Structure 1
Amino acid sequence: MKRTRPPSVTVPNFEHDTRLTYASLPPTPISPSPPATPVAPSFVAYQPPPFSLWDYLREELLVTDFDSHQELKWERVSNFLNIPLAMEKIIGFGFIVCLDSFLYTFTILPIRFALAMFHLLMPAGKPLAPAQKADLLKILLLVVSVMILIPLTDASKIYHFIRGQDTIKLYVIFNALEIADRLCASFGQDILDCLFSRSTLAPDAPTLRPLLYFFLAVVYNVSHSIVMVYQLISLNVAVNSYDHALLTLLVSNQFVEIKGSVFKKFEKDNLFQITCADIVERFTLSLMLSVVAFRNLIELSGSQFDFAEAGFVLPKSFGRWLRVGSPLRLSLFGGINGSMLWTISYPVLTVMFSEMLVDWLKHAFITKFNHIRPSVYERYTDVLCRDLANESAVGRRGARKHAYVDQGPLVARRLGFASLPLAVLAILIGSQSLALLFSRPSDTIEAGNGVWRAQSETEIKELVRWATWVVMGVLFWLCFVVIKIIIGINLISYAARRRAGMETREAEDAVNDFGRDPIGESKEERIYNRELKNILDNQLDDVSPAAEMGENKPSTKGGGGGGKGGRKRVPLEELTRFTMVKRIW
């Protein structure tokens, strides 16, 4: 039989064939694949499968399914359960710090303004110090901002405008206001630091520089205050929604925060910035919810006062609530039964509790996935306490003088707390609430047990009425001054007590540094995960970067952001809320 020869297969010459390439691009040479690294085969002892039904059932029913690694998971579970308590400690501490900074604007700053004005008006007095100029500019900034915002912030118009929007638009409004608040706080902090810096307020400084910075500060303060006003009224609309649809939207919007932050890589410096943001958010939300509850209480209770029946400076309807058999008494002693106070406080408490729950879950899962232990929150508290101790009169002895003359807490600047826009918001909403609270019929004046009915108001009675409220306002202000002093003293004392163990806690916190060991994993699991990572990150599967395509050439020196030769990590003592590391929030 004659063997036929198969036809020869002609292989096309791609090197000289131009039909398979684009005319506009040069021919791309195909480099040979790199030789594969030989991998030593892993021999596993062969286990014969069950050869009978009885052996299979016996192995399924009687085999021990416990793993030796499962005993190590309790540390991971205990850390997860301890995170809410550890987080609430620092949030509670930061909440008091924000309250101290907020009260400073209404208590200590007016006193400093009065002293600066007295020094300015003295004949043949010395030039003002930079700190006194800063006090004058702060009060002037508040006054100018309030005067600009009074005609622009009609609460009733804004309320009905937001209430008339669709649900989808309100969802966009909530998110846009939150983003605008954080961006304004980040940029405004730099503007205020430039305005109140020593170089700007020095006697030999250029004249136009303070004016330019003051103009920018007014623009920022007005813009941030408008954002906060809309946030407050949007929150009021959601709380007062009849079908609770907007309240559900607000709560669900908070839980979306978990999705955006949990499944990401975080280091402890990123977690510190998230904690600072949560502290400021918790304080701002608490203040806004208190204002919403107070306004709703005024709307529902009326504006007439009964000094004799209730015994306090409270609306007259409070006396009706405190009677025997009233809904309030039933709610206090026999369970909540639909009282007006519960109607007002229920949505407020719902929003506040959902915010706390979101913070607990967010921090618990972030620390779980990134193997961060709860001791890191003690380190965060130490950083804030060090700021408090350094800015106090005791801590400044022997230390370098701070570059800024702003006497507000340094820790509030680290937290990113915007006290001035929040003070403008409190002045605007507070003045509107007080005007609503003190409004009453013009022909009735109640005082003590007697009721005088007059056909026309006289100037003397009107003067006495306003003098009474002025005296009461001064007394309330003095009470807030005392509260501010007590809070400040206790904060400084607490910070001084914690300084004793800061070095020890800093050394122990090395367990949370970059390159930390995983929690709840044995040595065998770490080796397996490391080998698995090497298999997934095999360089043989990657294409070499080409500079012509706009990609960076591979580094020959090596080193990334946290490795050898890379960029130095920012220590916690130099980190603020708005310092850009890998990510801020």
Structure 2
Amino acid sequence: MSDVSITGPAPFSLWDYLREELLATDFDSHQEMKWERVSNFLNIPFAVEKTIGFGIILCFDSFLYTFTILPIRAALALYRLCANWITFKNSLPPSQKADILRALLLITSLAILAPLTDASKIYHTIRLQETVKLYVIFNAVEIADRLCTSIGQDILDCLFSRSTLAPLSRKVPVSHRTFLPLVYFALAVLYTAHTLVLIYQLISLNVAINSYDHSLLTLLVSNQFVEIKGSVFKKFEKDNLFQITCADIVERFQLSLMMTFIAVRNLIELSGTEFDFSAAVPDSFRWIPGHGLAWTILSPVAMVLLSELCVDWLKHAFITKFNHIRPSVYERYMDVLCLDLASGSAMGRHGARKHTYVDQSPLVARRLGFASLPLACLTFLIAAQAFSSTVSGFDSKEWFHFGQRHIKYGILITLAWVCLVLVKIIMGVNLISVATHRRADMERREAEDVVNDFGRDPIGESKDEKNYNRDLKTLLLQKKDDASRTSDMGERTKDGVKKRPGLNELTRFTMVKYIW
């Protein structure tokens, strides 16, 4: 970088130019300062995966709550409700009312969705569509998923709030507020249409994987590059980057869960056939050479997850590079999640023993935008349809043997549920422990994160480089170069100061802040 001002006189003649080009021995030493940018770029994948991995564990913990802790809490709440009605005691506390409503909402949703979600019919309906329509369907359900998550979170918060649950008592006189829980419950039932969106997303992905052409690879490449293009070349601050990280956590968990469903379903279907599946499986199953049924099923799953992994790394690496954000900001993101987790725990509520088994993740799930109820409904529906397809394969002569097998299945399901309860408890204890230990060093990391605050210095720029960029900006932003113009419709000025226009002065293409 030359020390000569960019506004000074031209110092070179033709001979000076040739001598500078051919005989110069000095070079720009400021290039050595760019190593910090390269180092940050290379460290971003590790920092991102640490935060996303922790967030996925939080999502899994919240997901398991519906299958493990909620049935126990709902059973205890029903027992206490029956005892109160018999002994004419006080009504239930709000937490147990919420448990009963949550279980009732889950059962009602499954009863409504079961006749509407025939996976085989939906699969063949989507598969008959053209390749271009498959892309449209997949992108449409992805957008619908995000919109449903946003509105559904507000509806469930309204339903399970204390003010909504308070009128559900015999001692409260009947008024217009008595019917408020019914209204919110009806809205929550309507929100279960989010499960339909997830089912279509799951089956669309399954159709893409089972296609006999390159639809899977094309779908992945097109969607992933659109995500990179829509995120990288924009101005972001660390709060915007936190929102992107939360979205990536939920997306990674949902994608992993759906790919697990697809792999298990294809494994069950292909394992029962007597034909040579290696000659009949789609081309998309054989991108990586390998043998065996498990490899045939898992290779497309690995390809999908690895592509998502690489896109997340590139997206975060370039966002932080262009916006001069250091990798330490991801430690602060983990601190925020741990603070929510510790605040929602029993220790965070001053050790109240009566809330020991309350779900530890509502604050974290709200922060991440994670919709656990629709995913739980999706899991129940997929599992029920897989089990019903197994039952339909037995004729009348085999029902006796099937009854014995049914008992074995019941025992296995019970043992699996007990194992999930233990996993949930152990996972919750360890998560609370990690969150509590991170709170000790939270203030130190917050002080170190000042380097990522608004107005931060660019990474890898010397003092001379900053002065040069400032002089260049001054040269480019001179008022004498601006064309004189008159006020357009929707732009009012008073004493030379622009003011916000009224609605009657706006047109569609008036540039206020954004233009559609």
Could you state the TM-score of these two structures normalised by the residue count of structure 1? 0.75
Distance in 1, Cα, partners of 2:484 & 2:100: 62
Alignment of 1:499 with 2:439, yes or no, is yes
The residue correspondences of 1:249-268 to structure 2 (distance < 5 A) are: 249-268=219-238
Q: How does 1:19-30 map to 2 (within 5 A)?
A: none
1:209 to 174, 180, 205: 180
- Corresponding residue for residue 168 of structure 1: 132
CA shift for structure 1 position 62: 4.5
- Of 239, 254, 263, the match for 1:269: 239
1:116 is matched with which residue?
77
Q: Is the 8 A contact 1:102 1:419 kept in 2?
A: yes
Q: Distance in 1 between matches of 2:136 and 2:183?
A: 34
Aligned match of 1:50: 15
SS of match in other structure, 1:66: coil
The Cα offsets for residues 502-560 of structure 1, whole Å up to 9 and x where unpaired, read as 00110111110111100011111112222323333434444678667212548989999
Structure 2 equivalent of residue 321 of structure 1: none
Amino acid aligned to 1:49? L
Residue number among 386, 400, 403 corresponding to 1:433 in the alignment = 386
Match of 2:103 in 1: 139
Aligned residue for 2:116, secondary structure, equals coil
The aligned amino acid for 1:197 is: S
| One-letter amino acid matched to 1:394 | M
Q: Which residue number in structure 1 is paired with residue 147 of structure 2? A: 183
1:80 lines up with 2:41 in the alignment: yes
* 1:544–1:211 Cα change, 3 Å: farther
The residue identity in structure 1 corresponding to 2:384 is S
* Aligned CA distance change for structure 1 residues 545 and 115 (closer, same or farther; 3 Å): farther
Counterpart code for 2:108 = V
The residue matched to 1:485 in structure 2 has which SS?
helix
Cα RMSD over matched residues? Answer: 3.0
Shift of 1:183: 0.6
**What is the match of residue 258 of structure 2?**
288
Q: Are the structure 2 counterparts of residues 145 and 544 from structure 1 closer, same or farther at C-alpha, using a change threshold of 3 Å?
A: farther
Q: Does 1:104 align with 2:48?
A: no
Specify which of 508, 511, 515 is matched with residue 448 of structure 2.
508
Q: What is the distance in 1 between the residues matched to 2:195 and 2:494?
A: 48
Instruction: Classify 1:556/1:389 alpha carbon distance in 2 versus 1 (closer, same or farther; 3 Å).
Output: farther
Distance 1:82 1:242, change over 3 A: same
Task: State how far apart, in whole Å, the 2-side matches of 1:255 and 1:377 are.
Answer: 23
Aligned residue for 1:518, secondary structure, equals coil
Identity across the alignment (%): 65
Equivalence map 1:176-255=2 (5 Å): 176-203=140-167, 204=172, 206-221=177-192, 223-255=193-225
Tell me by how many angstroms 1:356 deviates.
0.5
Aligned CA distance change for structure 1 residues 371 and 426 (closer, same or farther; 3 Å): same
Q: Counterpart of 1:66?
A: 27
**Structure 1 residue 339: Cα displacement:** 1.7
Choose between structure 1 and 2: higher helix proportion: 2
Q: Is the 8 A contact 2:114 2:381 kept in 1?
A: yes
Q: CA deviation at 1:144?
A: 1.1
Task: Report if aligned partners of 1:379, 1:509 keep a CA contact under 8 Å in 2.
Answer: yes
Match runs of 1:93-492 below 5 Å: 93-122=54-83, 123-124=86-87, 125-203=89-167, 204=172, 206-221=177-192, 223-302=193-272, 337-397=290-350, 408-437=361-390, 440-442=393-395, 455=397, 457-458=399-400, 462-492=402-432
8 Å CA contact 1:98, 1:417 repeated in 2: yes
User: What count of residue pairs does the alignment treat as equivalent?
Assistant: 474
Q: Check the 8 A contact 1:100/1:488 in 2, yes or no.
A: yes
Distance 1:47 1:85, change over 3 A: same
Cα pair distance change 1:261/1:440, threshold 3 Å: same
Letter in 2 for 1:480: L
Deviations 1:164-185 (A, max 9, x none): 1112211211211111111110
Matched, 1:532 2:472: yes
> CA distance change for structure 1 residues 537 and 435 in 2, over 3 Å: closer, same or farther?
farther
When normalised by structure 2's length, the TM-score is 0.85
Q: Give yes or no for contact 1:184–1:224 (8 Å, CA) kept in 2.
A: yes
Shift of 1:379: 0.4
Name the aligned partner's letter for residue 368 of structure 1: K
Structure 2 gaps, min length 5? 276-287, 501-512
Q: Bigger radius of gyration, 1 or 2?
A: 1
On the 8 A contact 1:336/1:342 being kept in 2, the answer is no
Do the aligned residues in 2 keep the contact of 1:90 with 1:377 (CA within 8 Å)? Answer: yes
Letter in 1 for 2:311: V
CA contact (8 A) 1:545 1:551 kept: no
User: Residue 332 of structure 2 contacts residue 445 of structure 2 at CA under 8 Å; is this kept in 1?
Assistant: yes
Greater CA deviation, 60-69 or 260-269? Answer: 60-69
Q: Report if aligned partners of 1:289, 1:348 keep a CA contact under 8 Å in 2.
A: yes
CA distance in 1, matches of 2:128, 2:392: 28
